[in-house]
Amino acid sequence: MSTRVLAAGDLFVRNELFVDALRAETLRAGTSGDLAFSELTLPWPVEPFGRVAEVDEASGTEEQLIEALRGAEVCVTQMAPLTRRILEASPDLRLFGISRGGPVNANLEAATEHGVAVCFAPGRNAGATAEHTLGLILAAVRRIPQTHVDLMAGQWRGDYYRYDDVGIEIRGSTAGLIGCGAVGRRVARALAALGARVLVHDPYLDDLGDLAGIAEPVTLDELLARAQIVSLHARATPETIGMIGARQIAALAPGSIIVNCARGSLLDYEAVCDAAESGHLFAAAFDVFPEEPIPAGSRLLTTPNIIVTPHLAGASKQTAANAASIIAGDVGRHLRGEPLAHCANPEVPAAARPARP
C-alpha cells in the first residue's frame, strides 16, 4: 500500500528537492516504491509570506491546502500553513514536515489534538547564515558597500583613508557573540581563524564543546564592555525581545559595530540609528528587521553607516537541499515507526503515526 505524500514546495525549497530527498531516503530503507506524490507550488518568495488564519510566516491559502491534502498522510513543505481548519479537513494527515528552523507556520496545539506530528529542520541554514554574518562584519568594518556605491557614482573616496575614518581589522579585535547555537558556533570558529578574540554569551550553554580554547564564555555585561564587534545569534523568545537597547549599546566602546542575522525582535533599531548618527557606533549591519519588508521612510534606509540585506542570510542552494534532506529523514522514520529526530510535538502518541505494513 502506497503512502500519499504532498510536496508543497515553493520557489526556494522546490518540490523536486523534496521528492528527490524522499526517494533517496526510502531507497536506503528498501521501500522506494511505497510513496505516491502529489505537488503544490507556493508563491514564496516572489510573494511575501504572511499570516494565514492563526499562524504566521506562511504562504498559500487554507483552501489550497485543504484541496491538495485530500487523502495525503504526509505533507512536506517550507511555508504552507497548518491551521486548525486545515487539520479538521484533513483526516488522513499524520505527519507535517516543515523544512525550517522552527515550525512557526503550524498550529502545534491543534496538530497535537488531531494526532498529527509536526517535524522541522533545525540547523538547515547554519552554514549559509554564518557565512553571511561574516560577510556583513567584513562589509561593516571595511566600508565595502559605501565605497562601492561611491565609486560607481564616480567618486574616488580617498578621504576614507584618514585615520579617523578607517575601520578595524578582525585580527586582534575582540568579537562578542550573543547566542551560541549552530550559527554562532560557526561564526566563532571563523572569527577565531581570522585572529579575533571571541567572547560568547549564552545562558543555555552548559559546555563549550568544540569551542573550548577558541571562545570564552562571559556575562552579557562583560561582553558589551570588552567587544568591539557584536553579533547576535539568539533565538526570539519572550526573554530575548529587545535584549539589546540603548543602555546596552551605550556600554559598547566608541567605534564598535553591531551585526544581526538572527531575529529583528532582539534589537532596538531606533537606538542603533541614534548611536550610528552620533558616531558612537562605527557601523551596523542587519539582515533581519522588526518589520519586513522595511517600510518606506525607515531610518534604517537613511542613517549613515548602516548596511542592510533583505533577510537573505540563509539563502543558498545548500540550505534548500539540507532542508529537504532533514525533513526526508523524519519522513523515513515515520514510515518505519521510529521516533522522529526533530518533532515539535512529541506528545503525539506513536500509535497516531504507525509504520506502514
- What residues act catalytically? 263, 292, 311
Asked if residues 7 and 78 have their Cβ atoms less than 8 Å apart, the reply is: no
Pairing label, strands 74-77, 174-178: unpaired
Q: How far apart are CA 9 and CA 16, in angstroms?
A: 8
Cell reading at 145: 558597500
Question: What's at 330, amino acid-wise?
Answer: D
Asked if residues 266 and 291 have their Cβ atoms less than 8 Å apart, the reply is: no
At 245 the three-state DSSP class reads coil
Chain centroid offset of residue 11 CA: 17
Does the N-terminal peptide bond of residue 354 adopt cis geometry, omega within 30 degrees of 0? no
Which residues make beta-bridge pairs with 341?
Answer: none
Cell reading at 285: 549591519
Nearest residue to 9 via CA among 33, 37, 34, 28: 37
Q: How far apart are CA 85 and CA 110, in angstroms?
A: 9
Which residues make beta-bridge pairs with 200?
Answer: 177, 217
CA angle 180, 186, 192 (to 5 degrees): 100
Q: How far apart are CA 296 and CA 276, in angstroms?
A: 19
- Complete DSSP assignment for 7-25: EE--SSS-HHHHHHHHHHH
Torsions phi, psi for 23 (to 5 deg): -65, -40
Which DSSP state fits 244? B
Q: How far apart are CA 141 and CA 292, in angstroms?
A: 25
